[in-house]
Every structure is written in structure tokens, then in C-alpha cells.
Amino acid sequence: MSLTQAVFILLGGMAVLGALGMVTLRNLFHSALAMILALFSIAGIYVLLEAEFLAVVQVLVYVGAIAMLILFGIMLTRDIVGRASAVRNRQWPLALAVSAGLLAVLAVALVRAAWPLATYAPAQGGVADLGLALMGPYALPFEVASVLLLVAMVGALIIAREARE
Amino acid sequence: MVPADFLPILVLIIVAVGMSAIAIALSALLGPHKSTPTKLMPYESGMVPVGDARLRFSIRFFVVAILFILFDVEAIFFYPWAVYFRRLGLFALIQIVVFVGILFVGYFYAWRKGALEWE
Amino acid sequence: MSIDWIELIIVVVKALIVAFGLLIGFAYLTWFERRLVGRFQMRIGPNRVGPAGLLQPVADALKMFFKEDFVPGQADKPLFIMAPGIAMSAVLISFAVVPVGPSIRLFGREITLYLADVNVGMLVVIAVLSLGVYGIILGGWASNNKYSLLGGLRGAAQVISYELPYGLSLVGVFMLAGSLSLKDIVEAQARVPFIVLQPLAAIVFFFAAVAEANRSPFDLVEAENELVAGYHTEYSSIKFALYFMAEYISMIVASALMVTLFLGGWQGPFLPGIVWFFIKLVFMLFVFVWIRATWPRIRYDRLMAWSWKLLVPLSVANILVTAGALVLRDMGVF
């Protein structure tokens, strides 16, 4: 077993552990932390896939910012903090059916897929290539992204304002 | 190879986590343990605590966190752009002026609505 | 990728050197700060333990280990124990990509004086440092104490607010260097250190770094007149020391980054690279202590306004000005 495989098993195990913890832990705050563990391990897997910029962005945005927002959200909500929440509710048979269906679809897709191997080497430039793409073929999506951020900002402020009144 | 470049970081993660775990375990073993009911009480400057510490807090913190995510994503768009900037020059400049211009509409909206104020 | 054992051993040894180096650095930074602040306040500072008080940090460390390590009754025990470890580990890991000198030859092998050189280098530092905020918020939450929770929340809001100017101010540096790797950034400063070309970025980055490290005058999380000791009110023994360590090591990391990004890193005439790095590092640490001894603590609403209303627009303006100047220069205007 090579070092890469060993690291992959370690990271994959941590991701699965985090995901399981997130759905099974009863304390909401603890489930959020388990989710952070899963997100962080996935960043490590991105590194193994030679997508280091994506890995860093995963840590910066998902682990460092969005998970933080979720923790703030949990702490902001009265009555759900500290109290153990039920893992099941009345909809569990439906949820089970949907999950089983999704698993079946994914399993079939995974088995059927041809898994072609890349015939060319992955890009070596990394961040610079990404910069080139953002200024060349993806110049318009790059600008539109700022419109999306603007909409999100205005929306968030309006919702926060309503919540205060 | 990219994963090999990151290997030292993984090693340092293991060393750092191991070191803090050992330090915490050592002090738990070495120090005395004499707990009394008063010692276990939350510290509130000598007053007997009233109610639980899990208070609700101001929505301000939540608004700051949302604004933070949005600007964080904006900053991430800057990085690859900055690395490649010198090779494109004027076009990249125009592109970023438009990008920043649109975002600053939102920034000034947030400013005017008082979201940057901390009352 | 097969395992090159010698390479792996070198990496492990270097990781241990970085970790223990930072620990010793932390210990002697506390001595350095106490002696200096003593002088600033017309006192002498610790001078009893060993010559010039040099053994004081050793005595403090031993004391910390033998203090009672207790967990308050209401606390969330696993989180309470984990939190200081997270705070300390995050800052320690961020040092991994900082180059302290050019490579040297030892036993016929080329040894690089950094642990890792990755092409997203500086982003790794920003990302790892952003994890430190969990140490603050988990400590505040797990203690189940009103002072701790408020201190933790305030600290978290402060750290995320200052992370923006921290990252944005560096975009100008990345533009000049054309790279995110710290080694490339140092090499790009061979002729002129970036503090000359990016003075505004250097100032914004420095303030953001002081706030990220929760140092005075931005040490609001432990404003003792309103919050006792903030998020670490309930902490004792080595767990308290780990929080303390996180603060001081993050001061070392911030100084090392200032040196690397703006002061030309290990480059300098006559002396070997590592010596230059160390001289510049000590100078930056002196500035940190100097600021603490000089400026009073800032009010919380002003602290937040400083980041959102001053440092963020300034750093974005710096990006646009730098971009404009580079375009004009490349077009041959000046």
C-alpha cells in the first residue's frame, strides 16, 4: 500500500465518521462539529486529487465561514441549544424510502460507469491556469458571480431586518 | 507532484495535534484534583449564577457572519485573478473594476442600511 | 508515489523542529514581552529566576503543569478539552509554509529551510488560521459561562471581520509576485522589499494580523473590565496555557509573515539568510510589544467599524490602484 492510499483511507474514514456523527448525534451543536470534520477531510481528499486551490477554498469557505454561520445560527435559536433533539420524527419511513432509492440509483450509476482514465496529465499551472480561465473563456461568469454575491447580500440584509422587527 | 508537496503539512498537523493532546493529558495526570461544589459552579464574579448560560444573543453576529461569507467568496475570486494579472494587463483591470463596482453597490447598500453599525 | 524513507524522516525532523522551535519561541517571547513592558512602564520586569530572569518561562511552564486541571460542572466536557488544542494546533500548523532561509547543504543533501512549498502557499496560511476561530467559539460555548459565551462570540465576530482585510490586503502582493507561494514572494523582493511598493497593504495587513492574534489594542475578547477573561474565563492549568500559547505563537506567525511578505524575507547583505530572517522577526515582535505598551484598548463598536468601514475599502482600493499602476507601467507610461 502506498502512502497516498494510506492517507486516502485515513481521510475517507474521517469524512465518513464525520458524516455519520452529523446525522446520529443528538446535540445539534455536536452534529455541526461532526459536519466540520467531514468537510475538512474532503478538503484533504481534494489535495490528493491535485486540486489544491479547491482544497484551500473548501477550508476557507465551507469550514471557515459557512460552518461558522451554521454554529452562529444554532446558538441564535432559542430552545434548540443544549436540549437533545430527537433523531427521528414521524416522517422517518418516507425518508428511509427516499434514501434507499437514492442509494440504489447511485449504486447502479457507479457500477455501470465506464470510469475512463485521463489520457492527458492534469494541469500543472494550478492557480495561474484558473486565473487565465477566469479572464478568458469564463470572463462573463466571473462578472455574473459578483451580481450573484450582490443579490445574496441584499437578500441577507432584508431577511435580517425583518427578523429584528 | 501536488500531494507530495502537502505531505509536510500533514506531518505538522499530526505533530501539533499530538503535542496538544500530550500536554493536556500530562497536566491531567500531574495536577491535583480536589473539586468542591462551589469550584464547579460557573464563575460569575462571586455571585450565584442565575439561569443558564445558553442565552440568546443579538442577530448582529449572524449578519456579520453572512457578510463575511460573501466578502470571503469575493476575495477568493481575487486570488487567481491576481496571480495571472501581469500577463493580461488592461483587460484584467477593466474586468476587476466591473467586478468590484457591482460588489460595492452591495457594500454601500449594507452601509446605508446600518448593517456595518454595531449598536 | 512510493515512500522515500529518508525524505520522510527529514520531513518529520523538520516538523518537530518547527513545533519545538515555536514552543521555545513562545516561552521566550513571554519573557521578552514582560521585560520590555517592564521597561516601558519604568519597572524592571522578571529578573529573579536565573540570569536576567531567563529561566522564568521554564518556571512558569512547570507551574502550569502542576496546577489543578478542572472542568466546570456544567461544561460540555469533550468540547471543553478539545477547544484549546484546536486553537494552538491551528496557529502552529500555519507556520508550515513560511520559508526561514534559502536552502542549505547538509550531509550531501539539499535541505530546504521551509517545511513545505506549495503553489497556494499563502492561502494555506489564511485557511489554517481561519480554523483558529473554532478554538475561541468552542471554548466560549463549552464552558457554559455567560462571560465565556459572550467573549467567545465577540472573539469569533472579531476574528472573521478582520480575516477579510487580512486576505484582501495581500492581493496587491500576489499581483506583484505573480504567485501565491511564499518562496516566490520572497524571491520577487530581491531588489525592492514590498513594503516600499505596497505600503498601504503592509499597514492594513499588520493591523488585521494584530486583530487576528487578539492582541492589544484589539484584545477585546479578554477585556477584563467587562468580560473577566472572555472565552477562557473557566480554563485553568495547561489548557489555559494552550490558549496563551496560541496567542503568542500567532504573534510569531504574524511577524514571520510580515517579514516574508513585506520586508524581503531572509534576503539581506553579508549575513546568512536565516540570521536576517531572525533579526527582522525580532524587530516585528518588538513592534507588537511596543504597540501593546502604548495604545489603550479600542471600544468594541469601533473595532468592528475599523475593519468593515476602513480596512476593507482601503484594501480593495489598494488592489485597484496597484492594478492601475501595473497596467500603466507595462504600457510604458512610467
Label residue C30 exposed, middle or buried (CB < 10 Å: 0-12, 13-18, 19+). middle
The residues that bridge with C104 in the sheet, in sequence order, are: C111
Q: How far apart are CA C277 and CA C255, in angstroms?
A: 10
Cell numbers placing C221: 475578547
Distance of CA A2 to the CA centre of its chain: 27
Interface check C124 vs A, CB under 8 A = yes
Q: How far apart are CA C223 and CA C227, in angstroms?
A: 6
The reported pLDDT for the residue numbered A19 is 92
Does the distance separating the beta carbons of B110 and A126 come in below 8 Å? Answer: no
C132-152 confidence digits (pLDDT tens): 888 888 888 877 777 778 888
Cβ contact C137:C297 at 8 Å? no
Q: How far apart are CA C67 and CA C81, in angstroms?
A: 16
DSSP state of C221: G
**Cross-chain CB nearest to B85 (options C16, C301, C326):** C326
| Mean pLDDT calculated for residue range C276-290 | 89
Structural domain that includes position C226: 73-330
Q: Higher-confidence residue: B30 or C199?
A: C199
Residue A15's pLDDT band, with cuts at 50, 70 and 90, is very high
| Mean pLDDT calculated for residue range A118-146 | 75
Q: Looking at the domain assignment, is residue C54 inside a domain?
A: no
Which residue do the cell numbers 477566469 mark?
A134
**Cross-chain CB nearest to A60 (options B62, B76, B88):** B76
Residue A6's pLDDT band, with cuts at 50, 70 and 90, is confident
Q: Looking at the domain assignment, is residue C15 inside a domain?
A: no
**Cross-chain CB nearest to B3 (options A50, A142, A147):** A50
Label residue A139 exposed, middle or buried (CB < 10 Å: 0-12, 13-18, 19+). middle
Q: How far apart are CA C230 and CA C243, in angstroms?
A: 12
Q: Which amino acid is at C118?
A: V
CB count in 10 Å sphere of residue A129: 15
Cβ contact B27:C64 at 8 Å? yes
Cβ contact B77:A125 at 8 Å? no
Determine the residue of chain A that is closest to C83 in CA distance: A33
Q: Looking at the domain assignment, is residue C222 inside a domain?
A: yes
Q: How far apart are CA A132 and CA A136, in angstroms?
A: 6
Q: How far apart are CA B25 and CA C238, in angstroms?
A: 9
Which site among A75, A153, A159, A165 would you substitute to test the B interface, given the most B Cβ atoms closer than 10 Å to its Cβ?
Answer: A153
Structural domain that includes position B8: 2-112
Q: Higher-confidence residue: A125 or C5?
A: C5
Q: Looking at the domain assignment, is residue B118 inside a domain?
A: no
Q: Looking at the domain assignment, is residue B117 inside a domain?
A: no
CB pairs under 8 A between A and B: 132
Determine the residue of chain B that is closest to A56 in CA distance: B76
Q: Looking at the domain assignment, is residue C14 inside a domain?
A: no
Interface check C314 vs B, CB under 8 A = no
**Cross-chain CB nearest to A153 (options B54, B80, B106):** B106
Give the torsion through C-alpha atoms of C24, C30, C35, C37, to 10 deg: 150
Q: Higher-confidence residue: C271 or A14?
A: A14
Does the distance separating the beta carbons of B3 and A131 come in below 8 Å? Answer: no
Q: What is the model's pTM? A: 0.86
Label residue C142 exposed, middle or buried (CB < 10 Å: 0-12, 13-18, 19+). buried
Say whether pLDDT at B38 is over 70: no
Give ipTM to 2 decimals: 0.83
The CATH number of residue B17's host domain is 1.20.58.1610
Which site among B62, B90, B111, B112 would you substitute to test the A interface, given the most A Cβ atoms closer than 10 Å to its Cβ?
Answer: B62
Say whether pLDDT at C214 is over 60: yes
For chain C, how many structural domains are there in total?
A: 1
A50-106 confidence digits (pLDDT tens): 888 888 889 988 988 888 888 888 877 765 555 556 666 788 889 899 999 999 999
Say whether the peptide bond before residue C193 is cis (omega within 30 degrees of 0): no
Cβ under 8 Å to C: B residues 78-117: 78-79, 82-87, 89-90, 92-93, 96-97, 100, 104, 107, 111, 116-117
Cell numbers placing A141: 461568469
Does the distance separating the beta carbons of B19 and C65 come in below 8 Å? Answer: no
The residues that bridge with C110 in the sheet, in sequence order, are: C105
Does the distance separating the beta carbons of B85 and A160 come in below 8 Å? Answer: no
The reported pLDDT for the residue numbered B23 is 84
The reported pLDDT for the residue numbered C323 is 87
Say whether pLDDT at B117 is over 80: no
**How much of chain C exceeds pLDDT 70, in percent?**
94
Q: Looking at the domain assignment, is residue B119 inside a domain?
A: no
Cβ under 8 Å to A: C residues 169-208: 178, 180
Cα distances from C91 to residues B20, C11, C213, C219, C230, in angstroms, run 12, 19, 9, 17, 19
The reported pLDDT for the residue numbered C1 is 47
Which residue do the cell numbers 496563551 mark?
C244
| Mean pLDDT calculated for residue range C77-84 | 85
Label residue A152 exposed, middle or buried (CB < 10 Å: 0-12, 13-18, 19+). middle
The reported pLDDT for the residue numbered A14 is 92
When the pLDDT of each residue in chain A is averaged and rounded to a whole number, the result is 82
Does the distance separating the beta carbons of C118 and A52 come in below 8 Å? Answer: yes
Q: Higher-confidence residue: C107 or C247?
A: C247
Interface check B29 vs A, CB under 8 A = no
Q: How far apart are CA A52 and CA C40, in angstroms?
A: 46
Show which subunits contact A, needing at least 3 CB pairs below 8 angstroms. B, C
Q: Which amino acid is at B71?
A: F
Cell numbers placing A60: 476557507
The reported pLDDT for the residue numbered A87 is 65
Q: Looking at the domain assignment, is residue C83 inside a domain?
A: yes
The reported pLDDT for the residue numbered A86 is 65
Least confident of A18-27, A70-79, C157-166: A70-79
**How much of chain B exceeds pLDDT 70, in percent?**
80
Nearest-Cα distance to chain A for C193, in Å, is 23
Say whether pLDDT at C33 is over 90: no
**How much of chain C exceeds pLDDT 90, in percent?**
6
C-alpha neighbours within 13 Å on the C-beta side of residue C146: 14
Q: Looking at the domain assignment, is residue C41 inside a domain?
A: no
For chain B, how many structural domains are there in total?
A: 1
Q: Looking at the domain assignment, is residue C37 inside a domain?
A: no
Residue A122's pLDDT band, with cuts at 50, 70 and 90, is low
Q: How far apart are CA B29 and CA C65, in angstroms?
A: 9
The reported pLDDT for the residue numbered C224 is 60
| Mean pLDDT calculated for residue range C81-88 | 87
Cβ under 8 Å to B: C residues 17-76: 18-19, 23, 64-70, 72-74
